[in-house]
Amino acid sequence: MLVYILKRLGLAAVITVLAVSLLFVIIHLIPGDPVSTMLGPKASPELRAALEARMGLDKPLPVQIGLFFLNMLKGDLGIDVFSNRAVTDIVLGQVPYTLTLILFSIFWSASLGIILGCYSAVNRNSIGDRLTGILSVSVIAMPAFVVALYSLLIFAVWLKWFPAIGAGEPGDWGDQFWHLILPSLAIGLSWVGYIARLVRASMLEILGEGHIRTARAFGLPERWVTYRYALRLAILPTVTVIGVGMGFLLSAAVFTEIVFSRPGLGKLVIDSITTRNYPVVMGSVLFSTLIFVASTTLADIINAVLDPRARAGK
Amino acid sequence: MSTDIKTRSEIGEILYHLTRDRLGLAGLIIVSLIVFSAILAPWIVPYDPIAMNIPDRLQGPSLSHLLGTDQLGRDTFSRVIMGGRVALQVAIPTIAGAISIGLFLGMIAGYGPKWLDTLIVLLFDTLRSFPTVMFALAVVALVGPSLNTVILVIMITSIPTYGRVVRTLTQSLRSSEFITAEKSLGASTTRILGVHILPNVLGPLAVLAAMDIPTVVGLEAGLSFLGMGVKPPTPSWGSLLNDGYSLIRNTPWLIISGGIPLILTTLGFTFLGEALRDVVDPKLRGRGGVK
């Protein structure tokens, strides 16, 4: 077990290093450079050289990447050239907003998805199962920002049930929760369908397996068999899928933050692009890559703890 | 048993099964509508989609403007139809590119030596760990908004989706009996990969591609919505939604007409992909979609 966890963490570290290096190489290859992005085309050569030296861009690429990792380990992602604040502080200030939004979205959609999937599997081919099936397929690929815009139009602008902008008054939990409902609806909707299908499929598979038959043969109550034995295994794929889906959740969060004018990583990136604040853009992208790698790793480890078969399979 | 099934071509066979499935038929109809309206767009649109007409701005739907007009008096219906063209112009090269590269790398990983496999899988895992939208935004921050950037970024981050499937399929085919037989008859690696493995991989890839189109179209629209995709005045469903978003308290029609084609595309391709999957591989029935 410990060996598996260590191996998985090692792989995560390798992937992070590769991803960051690749990001550097790609950024380096494409036309356009950070300095002219930030200073505009009319900047004097002296000014350009000064900024390049300050950002470490005058050094060869491998040195830049090496220095970057060295600084990253120290928690230093550079200085925002406009406000002179550390990029790490700026980005870290926005991460909690995005994480709250993502976690709340995945919490409600996974709960509903598991309930629907479980119901569908137990009452196979009932009207409820068919309805869930059609509903799942219909919402599964719905772009989050379209759902966000429509719910903004219907529930905030027309019906005025929910607030349209912001994340609520700081310190006022009720108000913050109120502001969370529409954005998390937008992010979570497609996941309800996805998770419901996943749970249904794995539940049906598990209900047909030998150990469930044995449990039934022992005369255990059907409810007990379904919810204590089958469901426990049937929600495993959900854990993996949520971990791997973190990239999609982050993308959805970017759009939703913009639509509802919520603070967060997405809003930070867009604002930074508009003001050509390149170090902050890079910092946010790196942070989201880190969150993504961390969540896939965590999902794999949780899976290994819950299901011994996954450990052997890797 | 009947001869007419035997003489039917493979594509005919697939179409036959698709039209038997109610959702599949619905998907096929929606997708054909979108594709044909995109191809025939210049002949369908009643107005020039970028021609301004300020006196007629922000109108609701009427007989002369089916979906109303935007803040510059441009006909929304014409912009929606032309927007479909942009959506497919992004989706098709993106997916074609990702499939080609994923196919190439996936077959090498699945058939080649172990060290190469490890290396390619590591590359897939790395590419997969870029959150697509964030990555796209970082590139756009440097080179400015353009459709080519959008295509390139989505293509790069989609390669692992296809590559991993091809790799798994190649691995399982590699040890199958007919490949062993081919090998013992002296077939070259290129022949085995190109003639025997490739055709067996294409079916599942087509299903994956059909299910991936809505994701790509959604990403393009999303980036254009953020002002990081198409440049104005080019019509895109995303830029329509962007206009609608800033005018949400003046008129709902821009958001409604920008969102509906996106929802239809999503539904159409998902239904089609689901039905196609059941036809191509009944074993996969009931599994989740692409995420």
pLDDT band at B120 (very low <50, low <70, confident <90, very high): very high
CB within 8 Å of chain B, chain A residues 75-114? none
SS3 category, B291: coil
CB contact at 8 A, B24 and B275: yes
Chain B interface test: which of A36, A116, A265, A273 (most B C-beta within 10 Å): A273
Instruction: Specify the pLDDT at position A48.
Output: 76
* Residues 6 or more apart in contact with residue A152 via CB below 8 angstroms: A164, A182, A259, A260, B248
SS3 category, A232: helix
Does A143 contact chain B (CB < 8 Å)? yes
CB contact at 8 A, B168 and B161: no
CB within 8 Å of chain A, chain B residues 39-98? none
Q: Is A281's CB within 8 Å of B245's CB?
A: no
Name the average pLDDT for chain B. 83
Does A293 contact chain B (CB < 8 Å)? yes
Digit-coded pLDDT (tens) for A152-205: 888 888 888 888 777 777 777 888 888 888 899 889 998 898 899 899 988 888
* Chain A residues closer than 8 Å to B270 by CB: 137-138, 140-141
- Percent of chain B, pLDDT > 90? 19
pLDDT at B262 over 60: yes
Q: Is A149's CB within 8 Å of B140's CB?
A: no
The arithmetic mean of pLDDT across residues A44-58, rounded, is 75
Does A29 contact chain B (CB < 8 Å)? no
* Residues 6 or more apart in contact with residue A299 via CB below 8 angstroms: A239, A240, A242, A243, A244
Instruction: State the nearest Cα–Cα gap between A83 and chain B, in angstroms.
Output: 19
Instruction: Specify the pLDDT at position A309.
Output: 66
pLDDT at A313 over 60: no
Q: Is A150's CB within 8 Å of B248's CB?
A: no
pLDDT band at A33 (very low <50, low <70, confident <90, very high): low
pLDDT band at B17 (very low <50, low <70, confident <90, very high): confident
Weakest-pLDDT range from A63-77, A146-160, B31-45, B131-145:
A63-77
pLDDT band at B99 (very low <50, low <70, confident <90, very high): very high
pLDDT at A128 over 70: yes
Is ipTM > 0.85 here? no
Opening angle at CA B233, ends B227 and B236, nearest 5: 60
pTM higher than the cut 0.90: no
Instruction: Specify the pLDDT at position B5.
Output: 47
* Chain A residues closer than 8 Å to B27 by CB: none
Report the distance separating Cα B249 and Cα A228, nearest Å. 50
Chain B interface test: which of A109, A195, A285 (most B C-beta within 10 Å): A285
